[in-house]
Amino acid sequence: MAAPVNTPRTKPSGFKLEDGYRTTIAFSLNPAVQIWEKTVKPPGIDGGDPIPQTTMHNDKWRTFAPKRLLTLTEVSGKAGYDPHVYPGLIAMINLPCSVTVHFPDNAQISFYGFLQKVEVDEHEEGVMPELNYTIGITNWDYTNFVEAGPLYTDASGTL
Please provide residue 148's backbone torsions phi and psi, each rounded to the nearest 5 degrees.
-150, 115
Cα separation of 56 and 64, whole Å? 14
Question: What is the band of 142 on the pLDDT scale with cuts at 50, 70, 90?
Answer: very high
What pLDDT was estimated at residue 157? 62
Provide the pairing of β-strand 71-72 with 24-27: unpaired
Mean pLDDT (whole number) for 54-65? 98
Find out whether 43 and 73 touch, Cβ atoms under 8 Å: yes
Mapped onto helix, strand or coil, the DSSP state of residue 141 is strand
| pTM over cut 0.75 | yes
Q: Which amino acid is at 98?
A: S
**Arithmetic mean of pLDDT over the chain:** 96
CATH number of 24-47+68-153: 2.40.30
pLDDT at residue 83, rounded to an integer: 96
Band (73; pLDDT cuts 50, 70, 90):
very high
- C-alpha span between 84 and 89 (Å, rounded): 9
| Tens of pLDDT, residues 9-53 | 999 998 899 999 999 999 999 999 999 999 999 999 999 999 999
SS (H, E, C) 16-30: CCCCCCCCEEEECCC
Asked if pLDDT for residue 146 goes beyond 60, the answer is: yes
Q: Show me where the domains of the chain are located.
A: 24-47+68-153
